[in-house]
Structure 1
Amino acid sequence: MKPARARSRAPAPRWPKTAAASCTTRTPRPWSRCSATGSSMQPIDFFLHAAMRYPDRIAAIDAASGFAHTYEALRGQALALAAALQRLSGKPRPVIATLAGNSHAMLLGILATYACGGVLVPLTPTVVEQDIARQLATAAPDIVLHDAAYEALLVSYQGLRICNDESREFQTDALAREYAGQSPSRGNPDPGETTAIKFTGGSSGVPKAVLQSLRCINTMVASLAMAYGFDSKERFLLAPPMTHGAGTFVLPVLHAGGCLVIAGKATAEQLHALLDSYAVTSTWVPPTLLQRLVRGGHDAHVHPHRLRAAHPIEAAFGQHAQQPRLELDRHVADFVQEQRAAVRFLEAAAAQRVGAGESA
């Protein structure tokens, strides 16, 4: 079932005043989403195709600073940083770990890693230093892109570090400026090659490395874009960490020509304010945060139909929002089971499409 859309839009958002804030009116270039599973297709191409079609459209807004980045500007920054990552690592496909909170620099690091054909290793900064050390030892990244606030978690790491938000020998924005106008070399990796390494606690609570292939990432992006029907009017709020759940929506939204609203850690009340300020059309939240949003101190302002939590439950949560807590907890448990079933169904359907395309 396709997620329900809001019947009426919120007041016009307070868009930042930038020279390139207006949307382009040129006719989009045709491109078949079916090509997303081909051997020559790489994850970054979802974004690059959109940048060609909508160069002047706003691709991302940093809610903390209010600064907006057009598709063309973000493309140039991502390619420049990708060239820097290849040069500094000395490898055509470097392994890049990120240890950061949500920010424009974090988004840039993700796109740059995909742009250079690298392997993305998103680390969660809320875990203890011992777990970070084990994850670094397992993934063996060539470079770690990090926030200064999490530098203490990198005591065991002896490789190259690039800081996102403070002046260091290597700093994200400075490298993007230094390598401006350059592009990374592009290979043609096998669809089965590892493109991301993500750590999950699993049943034992001990972090486990989950390897995601290029084909897996491509299929995920194409499936999410088609399943949720993203379009160029999308305003997607990135509030939970981009390391895992929320980050899976970055490329699908950008591919559609939508806009990412990047926010750091926020309370339920702050999230409500962001939803209204930027006329957000969708977001991703884990069940725990979804409960806080629905139970928040300002229940009258809750709009459950505008929340997208990897499964279309907007109307259901709206129906149960005013019922007792026990009933809501039971509903959340049902949602988790339905979410898992929906993901398994989506993966099976995507695998069939990929198989049909390869046999043809």
Structure 2
Amino acid sequence: MRIIDYFHHGLQRDPQRLAFVDPDKSYTFAQADEMSARIAGGLFAAGTPDGARVAVYSPNDALAFVCIVAAMRLGCPWVPVNVRNPVEVNAAFLRQAGCSVLFFHSSLAADMREIAARTPSVKTIVCIDSQDPAATHSLDILMALEPGPVPEVPDDPDRVIAIVPTGGTTGLSKAAVWTHRTWDAVTAALWTSCPARGAPVHLVAAPMTHGAGAVAMWMIPGGATSVVLRKAEPVAIMEAIQRHRVTHMYLPPTLIYMILAHPDVRQYDYSSLQYLIVAAAPIAPDKFREAMEVFGPCICQSFGQAEAPMLLTFLSTADLLEATAPGAPARFASCGRATLGTRVEIMDDEGNLLPPGRKGEIVARSGMVFQGYLLNPRANEEARRFGWHHTGDVGFKDEQGFVYIVDRKKDMIVTGGFNVFSVEVEQVILGHAAVQDCAVIGVPDTKWGEAIKAVVELKPHAQADAAEIQELVRVRLGGVQVPKSVEFWEQLPRSNNNKVQKTEIRKRFWEGRERLV
């Protein structure tokens, strides 16, 4: 099925239902359909070729979503551009993606000029909310162009529909290529995992250039209204859930931690929530349990990545409720089981699939696995070894098929000849009542090779010392995993999608060394 067909499914359910809402404006499905058709027609009239790559450079905005729909109905791959990235990073990615059309919001006009100057492939520049002398068109002028018949997009499962930055922690992002096949598989997995009871309302809280924007598009065929927040702030999120009776939303763990740490977190009504999906990174089991207490029986978790979006595995609320009884399995540490149409296994370095309980790399086979990295055959070969997609995550499966992530392969700490998985230590530390977030890394040590260090961010006005953090880990995991040192930072460095940046933390301790292990 073509990607625009998913929008038509939502349109046919109720043309007058709101599709996109932000603090300043809203569009029904019928209005979004009419506007996106005119935008697509304007692009065609302006000479946009078949398959041209279209970037949308905007903060969270309802009209930006309409422009994405327009690109999709013309068959143009969507290229997400993160507004928080430095100009040179965004320009480099647009060059890499071969982007030729750039929609932008007027609040980013100065940065847009720099990006356009550094990206010779961009030929059409459209300001979505005002007139701008640097743009080739305003959105109003583009929509007024007479296009003639706009060609139908072929129904081809291998047609490229998005080029997505991988968000790598070192260097520039690689470009992950998604096809109709990818989109079909993810959309099916989402709706089989999270079927709506009644009319769905989806909250776009995290940046639309990351998971929240993609989830909004995957929600469209169910006729979902997407409520678009400008910023991912705890109070704004809590208020929006209550005001708009939100049913579905996705948040990364760091935002969950920030909300749980807010003094007013229990003062809002979350009873409308059917699914609060935690994704983008493993969540500490103790925080996961606390979230269930605060938000109610709606908490669930998924596992995916830019190369296999969002839903390789899914941990349902029912799975978690089974784990709340005394003596029940420790599923709050799991990311769930493989979703429909997906195989997830554990593999050793020689390509052997491992039995339950054995740790190795998490690998997958699924229609949602991306086509490959754009113009990067070496990375493609590495990601496809032994005929499986390699996630780069280390984990294991239990006898019931539940997957447990213990670390990224590159984040494993080797100390005194022992392998220590940083995520396991982090999850214990995050169980401390005073801790809001933390990162565990290896730092250079003349005796141990690498020593375990915990860098901790406390909740506002909370207190803790290094000794109690170390004792907590000793009791829960044993002496080998105990951090040799603990530092308390006012704020941990985070990426634009709120992931803690271990690379930036490691730089402080490994600076000037040729090897970082």
Q: TM-score, normalised by structure 2?
A: 0.52
1:206 to 172, 184, 189: 172
Partner of 1:346: 339
Whether the aligned pair in 1 keeps the contact of 2:35 and 2:66 (CA below 8 Å) is: yes
- Flag the structure with larger Rg: 2
1:285–1:308 Cα contact (<8 Å) kept: yes
Deviation at 1:232, TM superposition (A): 5.1
Distance of aligned partners of 1:87 and 1:180 in 2 relative to their CA distance in 1, 3 Å threshold: closer
Match for residue 17 of structure 1? none
Q: Is the 8 A contact 1:79 1:182 kept in 2?
A: no
Corresponding residue number in structure 2 for 1:358: none
- Alignment partner of 1:238 out of 175, 199, 204: 204
1:217 equivalent in structure 2:
183
Is the contact made by 1:164 and 1:172 (CA closer than 8 Å) also made in structure 2? Answer: yes
SS at structure 1 position matched to 2:190? helix
| Distance across 1 between alignment mates of 2:237 and 2:67 | 24
8 Å contact 1:102–1:262 — kept in the other structure?
yes
CA distance in 2 between partners of 1:43 and 1:114 (Å): 6
Q: Which residue of 2 aligns with 1:32?
A: none
User: Following the alignment from structure 2 to structure 1, what is the Cα–Cα distance between the partners of residues 77 and 19?
Assistant: 23
Is 1:55 paired with 2:21? no
Residue 175 of structure 1 deviates from its aligned partner by 2.8
- The residue that corresponds to 2:192 in the other structure is 226
Using CA pairs below 8 Å that are at least 6 residues apart, which structure has the higher relative contact order?
1
Choose from 140, 157, 163 the match for 2:119: 157
For the residue of structure 2 that corresponds to 1:196, the secondary structure is strand
2:259 counterpart (290, 293, 303): 293
- Letter paired with 1:48: H
> Relative to 1, partners in 2 of residues 1:226 and 1:183: Cα closer, same or farther, differing over 3 Å?
farther
Change (3 A) 1:180 1:289: farther
| 8 A contact 2:257–2:287 mirrored in 1 | no
Aligned to 1:175: 142
For 2:263, the aligned partner's letter is G
SS of match in other structure, 1:246: helix
SS in 1 for 2:277: coil
Alpha-carbon distance, 1:216 to partner: 0.6
Alpha-carbon shift at residue 128 of structure 1 (Å): 1.0
Q: Does 2:75 match 1:111?
A: no
Q: Deviation of residue 265 (structure 1)?
A: 1.0
- Corresponding residue number in structure 2 for 1:43: 3
User: Contact (CA 8 Å) 2:44, 2:150: kept in 1 or not?
Assistant: yes
Q: Distance in 2 between matches of 1:300 and 1:207?
A: 38
Q: In the alignment, which residue of structure 1 is the partner of 2:97? A: 139
Show the counterpart of 2:479: none
Letter in 2 for 1:220: V
User: What amino acid maps onto 2:226 in structure 1?
Assistant: L
CA-to-aligned-CA distance 1:136-165 (integer Å, 9 cap, x gap)? 110111101111232325131342211122
Shift of the 262–201 alpha-carbon distance from structure 1 to 2, 3 Å rule, reads closer
Moved over 4 A (4+): 179-183, 302-305, 315-318, 334-341, 350-354
Deviations along 1:26-85, whole A, 9 cap, x unmatched? xxxxxxxxxxxxxxx2011011122123112222222x21x3322111111111111222
1:100 pairs with 2:58: yes
Q: Gaps (5+ residues) in structure 2?
A: 294-299, 305-309, 315-336, 344-364, 369-517
Over 3 Å counting, the alpha-carbon distance change for 1:234 and 1:187 in structure 2 is closer
1:76 aligns to what SS in structure 2?
A: helix
Paired residue secondary structure (1:342): strand
Question: Could you report, residue by residue, the CA deviation over 1:151-195 in whole angstroms, capped at 9, with x for unpaired residues?
Answer: 32513134221112221341224433x159977321315311221
Against the structure 1 CA distance between its residues 291 and 304, is the aligned structure 2 distance closer, same or farther, given a 3 Å change threshold?
farther
User: Higher helix share goes to which structure?
Assistant: 1
Gaps of 5+ in 1: 1-40, 324-333, 355-360
TM-score under structure 1 normalisation?
Answer: 0.73
Could you tell me which of 78, 81, 85 is aligned with 2:36? Answer: 78
The CA deviation string for residues 105-146 of structure 1, in whole angstroms up to 9 with x for no partner, is: 210111111111111101111111121121011011110111
Given candidates 85, 88, 107, the residue that maps to 1:130 is 88
Aligned length: 300
Superposition CA RMSD, Å: 3.3
Amino acid at match of 1:146: F
Write the distance in 2 (CA, Å) between the matches of 1:187 and 1:108: 18
Distance of 2:45 and 2:126 partners within structure 1: 13
